[in-house]
């Protein structure tokens, strides 16, 4: 059994994952922000409940929204996580902080580690 408080916990994402808005997909191509990216072999898609989702199972409602994504060494999409409203708020705060720190040329520490 999973406790109610654990089910509400924010997921930890890899440090090298990026925040973006997925606007369309035609598997294996995904448009995140203004960039079209291709999913690599063995790539994973996880919904906001952290369950693995196969691309044909994504409905029109499911395949648009804010995501965290990670690329592999070849520049192909490796993982995509659809975010919960709470994770979106944290990611937006992180983006603002990173922009502010990068403009001041300071070392940045992401929220998600």
Domain presence at residue 88: yes
Percent with pLDDT over 90 in the chain: 51
Q: Is 15 exposed, middle or buried (0-12, 13-18, 19+ CB in 10 A)?
A: exposed
C-alpha span between 82 and 49 (Å, rounded)? 8
The CATH number linked to 38 is 2.40.50
Domain presence at residue 55: yes
Domain presence at residue 93: yes
Q: Domain tally for the chain?
A: 1
> What pTM did the predictor assign?
0.78
Domain presence at residue 61: yes
Which structural domain range is residue 37 located in? 13-102
Domain presence at residue 95: yes
Q: For the segment 36-84, what is each residue's pLDDT rounded down to a tens digit? A: 999 999 999 999 999 999 877 776 666 789 999 999 999 999 999 999 9
Domain presence at residue 5: no
The contacts of residue 26 (CB under 8 Å, 6+ apart) are none
Domain presence at residue 20: yes
Domain presence at residue 65: yes
pLDDT of residue 102: 72
Strand positions, DSSP E, the chain: 18-26, 29-32, 35-46, 65-71, 77-82
């Amino acid at each position: 059994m999973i406790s109610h408080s654990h089910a509400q916990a924010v997921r930890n994402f890899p440090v090298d994952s990026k925040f973006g808005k997925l606007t369309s997909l035609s598997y294996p191509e995904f448009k995140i922000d203004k960039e079209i990216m291709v999913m690599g072999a063995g790539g994973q898609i996880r919904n906001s409940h952290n369950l693995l989702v196969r691309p044909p199972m994504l409905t029109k409602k499911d395949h648009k929204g804010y995501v965290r994504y990670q690329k592999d060494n070849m520049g192909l999409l490796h993982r995509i996580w659809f975010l919960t409203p709470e994770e979106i708020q944290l990611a937006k705060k992180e983006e603002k902080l990173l922009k502010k720190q990068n403009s001041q040329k300071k070392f940045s520490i992401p929220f998600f580690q």
